[in-house]
Amino acid sequence: MKDVLKSRMTVLAQIILLSATGSAFADSKATASATQTLEYASVSELAERMERNELTSVILVEYLQARIDTLDKQGPMINAIIELNPHAIDIATALDQERQDGNVRGPLHGIPVLLKDNIDTADPMQTSAGSLAMVGQPAANDAFVVKQLRDAGAIILGKTNMSEWAYTRELGLPHGWSGRGGQGKNPHVLSGEICGSSSGSAAGVAAGFAPLAIGTETNGSITCPASANGVVGVKPTLGLFSRSGIVPITRLQDTPGTLTRTVRDAALMFNALQGVDAMDAATSDAPMGVDYTTLLATDALKGKRIGYPTEYVGTNGSVLRPGFEFLMALATLEEQGATLVPLKVQLPDIDGYFNTLMAGMKHELPEYLASRSGLPIQTLQQLIDFNELNPGAEGYGQQMLKNINELDMTHAQATELFGTLNASFKAAIDEQLAEHNLDALFADADGYSQFSAAVAGYPGITVPSGMNSDELPTSVFFFGARWSEPQLLALAYSYEQASLERQNPAFKEQ
């Protein structure tokens, strides 16, 4: 590790020298001490430094690129980044000029963002869902959420590794592995669980490769990697953010979401990402023009009623035995003035659930592929044939893709069945909130609550809650009713500020 740090500092010194010469930044206040903390700075901290002429977007991008080279491609080799944007420096230069000219687009102006490798960008980068079969001509258009980020002044720094095809290639494959990106690692403990499918987005933010990242979730693909890597992950209400230009499993449940190191940074991203997209009808009902930072306050938990599960009915092991970190989190909520309400939770039946998702993918993936040109595949069968000839160095299988291809469920049948399941999970959450007069629900990273929020299409926020005995992060999960993101962000912020449990990674080998 000493060699890694020495190498990193050498690169850092080179960046400072290169960036401070021959540019408009030559007479600024940038120093080594100011730059050394950039990797874990929040968006607000970075923006303040830029406002004070202590930092430019160019220096920030160069610093993060060097850090990625040192820690992602060498040293511990986190494998969070699948591709860097060759235009990033040019974009940063233009945004620095805009700032000099007095044109600041907002809080994300000049801030680097990482994107999961299933989100279209109209630039030289691939959009491959981690699959070698999708490497070819880049997408012709930006995804709607990418356009929103660019309009807000964010810099697309690169694409992140992910569980290939959002973990639908083959059940049992290691989380965070893709044929194109290889095996991703957890930056806290390199052999630890990284989870997926937004593995690289979570690990990249945790490792200090960028302050912000976009992931996507069908069920658990944001909340699980956020928990495993010790960052803040927010899965919004289905329809709050557009899905157009994103490689689908199914729009019945897919959504993009945010991965950040702080709750406030997530709220700032929500401000930029919201918007009605004519290409995604689900966004037509979403609230618009919301400032998701308005309710953020350290006393937001005071007087709130928070329900938490003590038992799940309908599971093999229904009685929960909360770990130390969750008990401490409950104590923090009480200390902040919240009233805790223990709940016995009845889980709805999920018969046929996974087939509805897989049937959705069978019918929707070809529609997405038809929007792309210059790729080796255009159909699910062609994808399977490609993998047979090009299985990858690890030789992993693709039985799940084959099963999806063989499903005889129509999209209409899948939509009808999912509608029934979706309604039952919505009702289960809504009834708990109403019966106990709750402001939100709160859980450990037990999987059940995250699953319920995902099937309901309801929002949820994963927040770091400490470290376990294996030196890996633990987390808690706030969730609630449709469109309750402003309130949930406020509660999560209040907990985050009181607990201060997020830790920077140690890049430890075990």
Residue 455 included in any domain: no
**pLDDT (tens digit, 9 = 90+) per residue, 225-281?**
999 999 999 999 999 999 999 999 999 999 999 999 999 999 999 999 999 999 999
- How deeply is 226 buried, as exposed, middle or buried, from its count of CB atoms within 10 A (0-12, 13-18, 19+)? buried
- DSSP-derived secondary structure letter, 277: -
Q: Give the confidence band of 392 by pLDDT, cuts at 50, 70, 90.
A: confident
The CATH number of the domain where 101 resides is what?
3.90.1300.10
Helix (H, G, I), strand (E, B) or coil at 128: coil
Report if residue 470 sits inside a domain: no
Residue 410 resides in a domain: no
**Residues pairing with 33 in the sheet:** none
Domain range spanning residue 88? 2-285
Strand partners, 183: 177
* pLDDT at 500 exceeding the cut of 90: yes
Q: Which pLDDT score is estimated for 319? A: 65
Using DSSP bridges, classify how beta strands 460-467 and 339-346 pair: parallel, antiparallel or unpaired.
unpaired
144 within 8 A of 280, measured Cβ to Cβ? yes
Q: What is the mean pLDDT of the chain?
A: 92
* Any domain includes 197: yes
Tell me the percentage of the chain whose pLDDT exceeds 90: 88
Q: Is there a domain that residue 448 lies in?
A: no
pLDDT at 2 over 90: no
- Please check whether residue 309 is in contact with residue 476, taking contact to mean a CB–CB distance below 8 angstroms: no
Is residue 144 situated within a structural domain?
yes
User: In this structure, is residue 184 part of a structural domain?
Assistant: yes
Q: For the chain, what is the domain count?
A: 1
Give the residue numbers annotated as catalytic, written as ranges. Answer: 116, 197, 221
Answer yes or no: is 218 within a domain.
yes
3-state secondary structure of 305: strand
DSSP string, 473-506: EEEEEEE-STT-HHHHHHHHHHHHHHH-------
Which pLDDT score is estimated for 44?
Answer: 97
Q: Which residues pair with 311 in a beta bridge?
A: 319, 344
